Amino acid sequence: MAYLGNGAKTKEVLAKYNMSAKKKFGQNFLINEIVLDGIVDAAGVTRDDCVLEIGPGIGTLTQYLAESAGRVIAVEIDKTLIPVLEDTLSEYDNVTVINEDVLKVDIEAIVNEYNGGRPIKVVANLPYYITTPIIMKLFESGVPIESVTVMVQKEVADRMVMGPGSKDYGSLSLAVAYYAEAQSVMDVSPSCFIPQPGVGSAVVYLKKHECAPVQVKDEKYMFEIIRTAFNQRRKTLSNSLSNNPSLRVTRDQVQDALVKMGIDEKARGEVLALSQFAELSDILQSSGA
Ligand code: SAM
């Protein structure tokens, strides 16, 4: 039985190892059983699954995952937590801890070694300082992943699930929409962690698409358009895109493309859906780029 997941036990483990949470690694340990069960349920973890956990910390969520999954591979950057994890996970023979930076580790090699190349589920209470790079690495690397269930800052969760027109809509919303179907699972208050983060949190479930929802000739070019549009979100698309030399387009070419698509030539990026960015990308590439 998982015994972590409450404040008293978490404090006891930290005291036993004379440790405190490290801010530089984004350490906020979960202490709420309902939230922990909710994460495992949302991820739909079964004995058939191999789960990649990012940042096991002192092993709290890892214990819950180990109870439900066939295998858990936990990647932790902080080497001082490795002896703690050996202790808190000693009852489980289906957990492997890897002391590495998740942004550097070869996830494909992990999937091959521990799951015979079959898709894994990623489940994590993410370190908030690198949420976006982690999500982008998971998706852009193209490794076989079935779903990603993660605790993130509430504000980031909103950006992941929002559509055009909302103030939270931006390049992260579009990247997530391109790779996955996103669903917000639950809001989590700061009191569910030790130490308490300064912001609210939320769990999101990202079910990876089997094939991309839009067809685009050059994915990289489309994402460069998206990044440019939202880096200067107060500017019109024709101004922002023509200011980025790597896109190789003029103001007129952008305006013509928008008009051809039936969109106001003074439109900003925030009104375009993913399918429209794909169309704009294809038109601009053939008109000038
Ligand atoms: N899973 C634990 C829990 O829910 O209580 C801890 C979550 S804590 C928010 C984030 C964890 O990610 C910490 O253990 C931290 O050391 C680890 N971490 C931070 N940066 C990392 C990185 N680049 N690679 C792997 N782990 C990292």
Cα of 88 vs centre of ligand 1, distance in Å, is 16
Mean pLDDT confidence for 252-258:
96
Note the pLDDT tens digit of each residue in 112-131. Answer: 999 999 999 999 999 999 99
Residue nearest to atom 14 of ligand 1 (CA): 57
Q: Distance between CA 282 and CA 93 in Å, rounded?
A: 51
What per-residue confidence (pLDDT) applies to 141?
87
pLDDT at position 91 over 90: yes
What per-residue confidence (pLDDT) applies to 199?
95
pLDDT at position 70 over 70: yes
Mean pLDDT confidence for 234-247:
94
User: What dihedral angle (degrees, nearest 10) is formed by the CA atoms of 218, 220, 221, 227?
Assistant: 150
pLDDT at position 287 over 80: no
Asked whether the CA dihedral 26, 29, 34, 38 is positive or negative, the reply is positive
Q: Distance between CA 285 and CA 287 in Å, rounded?
A: 6
Residue nearest to atom 20 of ligand 1 (CA): 25
Cα of 21 vs centre of ligand 1, distance in Å, is 10
What per-residue confidence (pLDDT) applies to 1?
65
Among 10, 27, 40, 58, say which to mutate for ligand 1: greatest number of ligand atoms within 8 Å of CB.
Answer: 27
Q: Distance between CA 105 and CA 248 in Å, rounded?
A: 35
Does the bond joining 195 to the residue before it have cis omega, within 30 degrees of 0? yes
pLDDT band at 162 (very low <50, low <70, confident <90, very high): confident
